[in-house]
Amino acid sequence: MMIKSRLCDLVGIRYPIVQAGMGPFPNNNLCVAAADAGVLGLISTSGLAVRESQPEIYRYFCQTGDADPAADRQTILRTVLRRTLEKTRASGGIFGVNVMVSAEMRELAALVIETTIRVREEDPEMKERFKVLVTSAGDPLPWAAAVKKTDLVWMHVMPSVKAALRCKKAGVDVVVASGHEGGFHTSWEPVHSMVLLPAVVEAVSDDKTLVVGAGGFCDGRTLAAALALGADGIQMGTRFLATAESDFHQLWKEAVVACGDRGTLIARGFVGPARWVKTPRSVEHARTTIVKSPGVFLGVPDDYTTIDRSLIDFEVESIKAVYDGDREKAMFAAGEAAQRIDDLPAVGDLVQHVVREAEAVLRSIPAKYLD
């Protein structure tokens, strides 16, 4: 028995797994390794947005993408995409980009989507293997007119049945149901995967719309669980962050591996609630969030027009501290799955382990539970 799903057929990948397009650190090398391993590799584009606010991360994004930091953002993105195409040529790996479409990121989102469409139209090989656009952290509908004119596979990450129906209206091909277990950007209202995923499957899954589970998925057992709940695959973020090829700083990887039972918390992030590894620094941030952005815990959104900007400044300082190697001031985003991660495997080895374990679990179910 070999695991295969509609996601494999739609995207052209070997296994029904998506490597999340995580930021703010780049994942240019991680994307290549994931695509080579037979899953969907995603490039994070958030590093393009921090040229002035977080120049270290911006330069690292360019460095890992073989791009000139002095170039304009469109040229940098083109360079990163060309590099990814060339480095995955031998494997024929499939890849895509992830871009946040929240109000705070609207300008970058427009640039990324426009560049994505142009680059693919200019190069037949790029069009063949650069197949996926993932939007997240915002409303998909305003982007439908541009995306639906192309043959891109469009995925959108969202946290509720209401948002899934919005995706359906927009014509999204793959709805990524992101449970509150997930790392970094989470929803304003905490609905977890065990409730969210089957509810979204029931609401939108049909012959035109696929559903992928995200949030808490990190191994073969959770992949098997997602498939049993009706999903067409899973997206893994934190698990791929903690790998040998991951571009994330070594301190960040070590924080994930060291995360123990109940080792994460929620506090304010760049575009709303965010999940962090529990440290004295992130506990301080959570306490400040309770006072200055209580909607994070009450399901009442705020934005950059109303928020106390010291919360955002604290996060910027904490992310910069990671790059500087300052453990005391650093904060590390991660999902609840971090407490189940205790190693830093090669991406190819990780994928094979996840798939083999999922196959074994699914194979064992009839004998164990069906008379």
How much is the pLDDT for 25?
A: 78
The tokens describing 358, both together, are 């999922």
Helices 193-204, 161-170: inter-axial angle, 10-degree rounding: 40
How much is the pLDDT for 1?
A: 62
How many helices and strands (H and E) does the chain possess?
16, 11
Residue-range domain boundaries for the chain: 6-248+343-369, 253-336
Mark the ranges of the chain whose per-residue pLDDT is less than 50: none
How much is the pLDDT for 112?
A: 93
6-248+343-369 CATH fold: TIM Barrel (3.20.20)
- φ and ψ at residue 163, rounded to 5 degrees: -70, -35
Model pTM above 0.85: yes
How much is the pLDDT for 138?
A: 86
Residue 209 CA to residue 207 CA, distance in Å, equals 6
How much is the pLDDT for 329?
A: 96
Rg, the chain, Cα only: 19
